[in-house]
Structure 1
């Protein structure tokens, strides 16, 4: 069915002299003032102009942006959004009962873009997630339909191609943020990876194939998370967790749970974050390498730090450190190569920041900045922003502003919605010093950097 163009929105944008990029920027800024995070871009605006749907909260931000521009009240109805459609409730919203159901869910998810109007911070209900985690922990693997009749025979060369693609997209994610390659990755997953899972293969190839597919699927979840589409990310991650049960890939499954903990912690859902982190550590125990166990323990420390449980966080950090000391005793998968001393120290500086322990946070953040390879631009940006927050916590205003400026100056990390939130959080924390000239300069630097990002 063809969609009717949104003439009301087009007319008001023309009257306001607002470009697609300019309006998108105003919408993001308005959302941030309300404590919300939306991933609106000029592409989103064009989709609305073409008659696409919109989430009701986002529609209110559009109306607010145009009201400010035109200096009169504009309602969602005035811009053609009288009844914004609710998000599809069933989108990847269950832990599949079978392998075919799991593949169908993943195919459905891969048909949705980051701009499909998903609610930005609505995760699946606790009961549904807890049930899925319990099922993953106690259920037996499906087992592969080895040498089943199919039109295509899959070999190790196909698996190698998927792994190479995964490494490439992971590299793009580290350098430029999740939104940069998500669309291409989604297309690759749906057109190239999912069809292979319905092919014919030997047991050896099948095990490798499903492991490689899970890596791509989890990266889709992670990149959606990084752009701020938390509903889509949550469903990708839960569906990928189910995919790991096909061949009983416990280490990958535990990794998915730690990613889900990371997301819940970011959204302030501390109790959920703690449960998921502990499930990750328990699910990986006896199956994961020491390096992976270090990662899982670090995420537990992050959740406990948010909960202000200093004793529990200290225990988890100690465990993470001890596991990393044993990292060279086992062979790790390629996807775990980023987990090194720099990554661990970076997790620890977040912990001490959240625990409001200024001196320790500064010490670990300084070390994280020094150790982080610049190729991990987003991680380096995070560490610098945590260092800035830690210096502010210590009363070192000038040092904090200088550090934040260095983080923003890098530019690449700004393409991550998560990094933008780190910056916005620091601006809010430092706003009590709004009359300070260094703070004013930083705010102008941030405005200029975001404007340049809009023009790219």
Structure 2
């Protein structure tokens, strides 16, 4: 006896896409697409049961939506498939286990790889990052991260992932995270290369370094999304990365990711939350190497400066500066190599400017631009900040000079953050546009950033 169709939404989509009498064709296309995740073996009978109430995994639903979308020539949301108990495509809660973090990562990577222009879940949930900080700090460590599966994962494989993370970090520094193509490329790499590895075979020792590498990659993709203005996706990736860092018992990496959540909260105007996150990162890091301490205290200083807490800001800034003076590369984590005295100087300039201590802030300007050539985006961010601080200090000549520099540096950078800094400078200068030199600079900078 043929059972009645209970998923009318899926049936309608299949009819519209030309699969009404071609369930086997849909199954074969899903199997082909699923090769990047391992091996799927669906057939016409599988589609029969999906139409009659069975529900495939969230990842299969993502791929199914992409497959039908290509046939229809329009985007198809997962919810259109009609699986009533499907979980949301984006859930930024802190995962309860390393396995659930891996599953969440795989779903999100699939979305970004197949639909790079989609933004599932536009809103950032206010308390989610703070809840994640508490769970990361106080939950018990995972007993093991070993796995048994189809593909063996070796130390050499893991080192390759660390090298790839370095590569994407360099791309992000040079060009900004605002290119959908760059983020889709990274997500595709994660889908094709990393996803099968996560379901592979590795010992607990290899697994710890493997999870660390995956956390680093997820954190890098998060920062690219943050720089592009995709804040919900950025937060979700950071929280997944935080959970994977917890699985490896890497407190320093976890603190770094928590500080990135603080930086995002600050950018979104939640300075008090940012300060709490930064302090949680400092507390969780424990006896950290000097450069890590410098990075964490710098984030705390920026948060306190943004919230107008002068004493707390200056105290954190002093601690960061002392740590910078003691910094050296020996024995420090690989990922902290990006943080230099110039990054500290740029943050010091910003938080002192927030406290309206403009002259004191500008003392950090020369150090803030003493950056390596590859730090193109940071150079543009710091140059815009220096120019804006000069306007607020009343020195229009210096502001215009730095504004011209900014137009040069921002020209080829795809970054919502750089665009925002340029607009802040334009607003500050706009009050003085009757000055011919100011009007000239405004025309120049308004034509510069591509975003």
Answer yes or no: same fold by TM over 0.5: yes
* Larger of the two Rg values belongs to structure: 2
Report the counterpart of residue 357 of structure 1 in structure 2: 357
Tell me the distance in 1 between the aligned counterparts of 2:117 and 2:329: 44
Tell me the distance in 2 between the aligned counterparts of 1:312 and 1:396: 28
How many residues are paired up?
372
Q: Which moved more, 1:162-171 or 1:99-108?
A: 99-108
Report the counterpart of residue 118 of structure 2 in structure 1: 116
CA deviation vs aligned residue, 1:166-216 (integer Å, no higher than 9, x gap): 111000000000134211111111221132122111233212111111110
Tell me the distance in 1 between the aligned counterparts of 2:73 and 2:436: 44
- Structure 1 residues 53, 422: closer, same or farther in 2, change over 3 A? farther
Please state how far the C-alpha of 1:411 moved relative to its aligned partner: 3.5
Please state how far the C-alpha of 1:89 moved relative to its aligned partner: 5.5
Tell me the distance in 2 between the aligned counterparts of 1:349 and 1:53: 46
Q: Is the 8 A contact 1:305 1:313 kept in 2?
A: yes
- Structure 1 residues 392, 104: closer, same or farther in 2, change over 3 A? same
Tell me the C-alpha RMSD between the 2 structures: 2.4
Q: Which moved more, 1:216-225 or 1:174-183?
A: 174-183
Tell me the distance in 2 between the aligned counterparts of 1:93 and 1:158: 29
- Structure 1 residues 90, 184: closer, same or farther in 2, change over 3 A? closer
Report the counterpart of residue 316 of structure 1 in structure 2: 316
- Structure 1 residues 413, 119: closer, same or farther in 2, change over 3 A? farther
Tell me the distance in 2 between the aligned counterparts of 1:342 and 1:357: 19
Detail structure 1 runs of 4+ shifted over 3 Å in the superposition: 1-4, 49-54, 117-120, 411-414
Report the counterpart of residue 45 of structure 2 in structure 1: none
Q: Which moved more, 1:411-420 or 1:209-218?
A: 411-420
Report the counterpart of residue 251 of structure 1 in structure 2: 252
Report the counterpart of residue 404 of structure 2 in structure 1: 405
Please state how far the C-alpha of 1:125 moved relative to its aligned partner: 2.9
Q: Is the 8 A contact 2:282 2:296 kept in 1?
A: yes
Report the counterpart of residue 389 of structure 1 in structure 2: 388
Q: Is the 8 A contact 1:118 1:229 kept in 2?
A: no
Match status 1:163 vs 2:159: no
Please state how far the C-alpha of 1:129 moved relative to its aligned partner: 2.8
Matches within 5 A, 1:277-288: 277-286=278-287, 288=288
Please state how far the C-alpha of 1:105 moved relative to its aligned partner: 0.7
Aligned to 2:111, the other structure's residue is in SS state coil
Q: Which moved more, 1:272-281 or 1:199-208?
A: 199-208
Tell me the distance in 2 between the aligned counterparts of 1:185 and 1:3: 34
Q: What TM-score comes out, normalization by structure 2 length?
A: 0.77
Aligned to 1:101, the other structure's residue is in SS state helix
Tell me the distance in 2 between the aligned counterparts of 1:3 and 1:447: 50
Matches within 5 A, 1:44-59: 51-52=74-75
Q: Is the 8 A contact 1:373 1:380 kept in 2?
A: no
Q: Which moved more, 1:328-337 or 1:276-285?
A: 328-337
Aligned to 1:443, the other structure's residue is in SS state helix
CA deviation vs aligned residue, 1:266-319 (integer Å, no higher than 9, x gap): 111111111111111111113x32211110010000000001111101110111
Matches within 5 A, 1:32-47: none
Report the counterpart of residue 6 of structure 2 in structure 1: none
Tell me the distance in 2 between the aligned counterparts of 1:324 and 1:363: 17
Match status 1:179 vs 2:178: yes
Tell me the distance in 2 between the aligned counterparts of 1:95 and 1:294: 27
Q: Is the 8 A contact 2:390 2:398 kept in 1?
A: yes
Q: What TM-score comes out, normalization by structure 1 length?
A: 0.77
Report the counterpart of residue 340 of structure 2 in structure 1: 340
Report the counterpart of residue 300 of structure 2 in structure 1: 300
Q: Is the 8 A contact 1:293 1:323 kept in 2?
A: yes
Report the counterpart of residue 203 of structure 1 in structure 2: 204
Q: Which moved more, 1:338-347 or 1:274-283?
A: 338-347
Tell me the distance in 2 between the aligned counterparts of 1:366 and 1:50: 53
Structure 2 residues not aligned, in runs of 5+: 1-12, 17-69, 78-86
- Structure 1 residues 145, 232: closer, same or farther in 2, change over 3 A? closer
Structure 1 residues not aligned, in runs of 5+: 5-46, 55-87
Tell me the distance in 1 between the aligned counterparts of 2:191 and 2:365: 40
Please state how far the C-alpha of 1:436 moved relative to its aligned partner: 2.3
CA deviation vs aligned residue, 1:327-352 (integer Å, no higher than 9, x gap): 23851122111212111111111111
- Structure 1 residues 104, 329: closer, same or farther in 2, change over 3 A? closer
Q: Is the 8 A contact 1:366 1:387 kept in 2?
A: no
